[in-house]
A and B are shown apart, each in its own frame.
Chain A
Amino acid sequence: MSVETGSSTLDRLWAPFEAQSGSRRSLLLMSPLILFELLIFVVPFAMLVRISVSEQSQSLPYAEGTFTIASYLEVLQSGLLQGIIVYSFRLGIIATAVAVVLATFYAYATWRADGLLKSALLFSVVLPLLTTLVIKTYAWVPLLAPNGTANNLLLAIGLLSAPVQVVPNTLGVVVGQVYIVFPYAMLAIYSVLSTVEWELVEAARDLGAGRARSFFEVVLPEIMPGITVATIISFAWSVGAYSAPALLGAGSDRPFALEVQEQMLLNFNWPVATALSTIMLVLMFVSIVVIYAVLGRFGGDVSDAA
């Protein structure tokens, strides 16, 4: 590793690191980040876990200094809370599958487009990121409501005979959640796709592979790292979805984030809220390891993904 010569300040700053062995040097360089992680994530999470093994209290959010795993048993035995966990994962799987498939198509189209069309396609993806989550999620209500734009349009051209209840409904939640994660999924896939050489597709076609075949044989293995990242982002976000279910869902659309909020702020039952959070975190962690392992098997060196 070398540092640009001529900048003596940099040289002086670098000198203490230069003396260290490789692993100690990287540890030193990472230390600000480690400190940040420790303060912002590890310490609060440890506090959260500590609360989750405290006793519940009538007058306080939780009983300090006590120890019990009662809240975990309560979460795992309650049919209501199990349903909430299952709902969260179902939403996560469906929204992720839809978002990643759409994002792959969209990224491919953007990759192949050029000039103004390419800029327009890219800009359209980034544009929603410039608006607040709540506003853009709410925007679906007038669009998808029973007397909203979509229903009126479909009724007018005769494709529907009666309005469809999309919002508030689970379908609306999925639409809203896909819309939220789509830009991130698309950009993750596009960033990898844009480095793929078109010549590979040409070589495949030249050797007799049709359009679809050349995509699955040549392009897909190449962009697997991007798809893996897109899947993990979409999945983690959708399982923990809050605004789409809250704004577009019916009463039965109840993912764990809403439940945690209610337990904390309305019921003042912090042990159950934190126990549910901890269980979800463990389940998410396991899911992500599984996604990583499964998607990594299909070509693509996942470790290349940033």
Chain B
Amino acid sequence: MSNITLEGISKSYGDLQAVDDVDLSIRDGELLCLLGPSGCGKSTTMRMISGLETPTSGEVYIGGENVTDQAAYDRDTSMVFQNWALFPYKTVLENVAFGLKMRGDGTDERQQKARDMLERVHMDGYEEHSPTDLSGGQKQRVALARSLAVDPDVLLLDEPLSNLDKRLREEMQIELKDIHKEFDKTFVYVTHNQNEAFTLADRIGIMNDGRLVQVGEPTEVYRNPTNRFVEEFLGDTNFVAGEVTDVNDQYGRLSTEFGATIRVPAADAVEPGASFTVSLRPEFMQIRRSNGANEREGTAARADGTGGDTVVGSVENTIYRGSSIRYVVDTGGEHLFVEQSVTDQTGIEEGEQVELGWNTDDILVFRPDGSRVRDE
């Protein structure tokens, strides 16, 4: 068993609170990504699991055993470093065999294991090379082999792919996923790249300002974020601020910065006069040519009087992004952007009048303090 439990761990350096009261349960055999912007405390949290840092307060359990006061060399964890940290004066084989040597394995045994591990990461043939001669991707493979060779209960990966170019990074992500399946160990993976987290993770733990904001499966955190920070961090979105003017039994009516009045869900949680910010994901909006109607209110007018789920504007910019096209639409001073698949072939060009539409239930509503307004 190698589940990990963090109980209220904090780490402060002088006045700086790097990690603030984090509670986290990592299941045996899962791949958990700690995701957050730089300086959010994700690496420090991982280093406390490895034993390279000692928490200022709180407890760390690995496999049910309290390891809070155990040194790194006594813990059954192994870490893959961002800059690989390969020993430059040892050969690739010596690097991979290092942990086994420290454990006291005999020369033949550890060399055989190291060779097997190098073969697993497709680095056979490089045994006698110096790590300094290898490319970034190769160093990454050797670092991975070195950590896997000691057969750790928990493998910790600290932004291991952030120094690789995009193609290599994506290739390695797939390979890491395979290795995770094959070795059936608990992986904790630190990254600031949300795509990487979505690709790899069984569950994602999102951190900000030293706190763990939300933990959940990728679809859960993306579709159902607990606050505005998570919504913003996990992907590009349009935030539109406004004030609620009216509420009926199903929807609220939000008077927005760009003049249009739109419908918002969670009618029972919003009240007239309160300010809210809504998030309109670019991929949840559709763009179509407006049939000449220039009046904004017209689009928002609804029979039930609660405001609309469309807004009109003119296309200010089209950005070709490979598989998709992003339209930046000027809606009377405010800019919204929409993303459409290139296969949609709308043929809309800059300067054209368009109408943006969405499904009201896809809108997420946030309070001024960033907390989410949930539809009860």
Contacts and interface: CB of A to CB of B under 8 A. Distances in A.
B97 to A, nearest CB: 10
B287 interface: no
Interface stretch (A20-28, A207-215, A286-294): A207-215
Interface of A, helix, strand, loop or mixed by DSSP: helix
Which has the most chain A C-beta neighbours within 10 Å: B50, B86, B102, B147? B102
A206 B72 contact: yes
A207 to B, nearest CB: 4
A218 interface: yes
A291 B103 CA distance: 33
Interface in A171-226: 197, 199-200, 202-210, 213, 217-218, 221-222
A206 B52 contact: yes
B78 A207 contact: yes
B284 interface: no
B99 A207 contact: yes
Contacts of A271: none
A224 to B, nearest CB: 8
Interface of A: 197, 199-200, 202-210, 213, 217-218, 221-222, 299-300
B150 A207 contact: yes
A202 B78 CA distance: 11
Nearest to A214: B73
A299 B72 contact: no
A197 B102 contact: no
Contacts of B50: 206
A199 B77 CA distance: 16
Contact of A208 (B81, B83, B86, B150): B150
Contact of B103 (A197, A199, A208, A217): A208
Nearest to B79: A206
Contacts of A217: 87, 98
B88 interface: yes
B85 A208 contact: no
Interface in B55-97: 71-73, 77-79, 81, 83, 85-90
Interface string B18-52: 00000000000000000000000000000000111
A141 B155 CA distance: 59
Contacts of B77: 206
B73 A209 contact: yes
Contacts of A207: 73, 78, 98-99, 102, 146-147, 150
Contacts of A204: 87, 98, 102
A200 B52 contact: no
Contact of B73 (A199, A205, A299): A205
A299 B88 CA distance: 9
Contact of A200 (B78, B85, B99, B146): B85
21 contacts: A197-B83, A199-B81, A199-B83, A202-B52, A203-B79, A203-B85, A203-B87, A204-B102, A206-B77, A206-B78, A207-B146, A207-B150, A208-B103, A208-B150, A209-B98, A209-B102, A217-B87, A217-B98, A221-B87, A221-B89, A222-B88
Nearest to A201: B85
A207 B73 CA distance: 6
Q: Closest 8 interchain pairs by CB?
A: A207-B99, A208-B102, A203-B85, A221-B89, A299-B89, A199-B85, A205-B72, A209-B102
A249 B71 CA distance: 48
A208 B146 CA distance: 12
B89 A208 contact: no
B102 A213 contact: yes
A205 B71 contact: yes
Contacts of A199: 81, 83, 85
Which has the most chain B C-beta neighbours within 10 Å: A202, A206, A209? A206
B62 to A, nearest CB: 14
Contacts of A206: 50-52, 72-73, 77-79
B74 to A, nearest CB: 8
Nearest to A222: B89
A300 B88 CA distance: 9
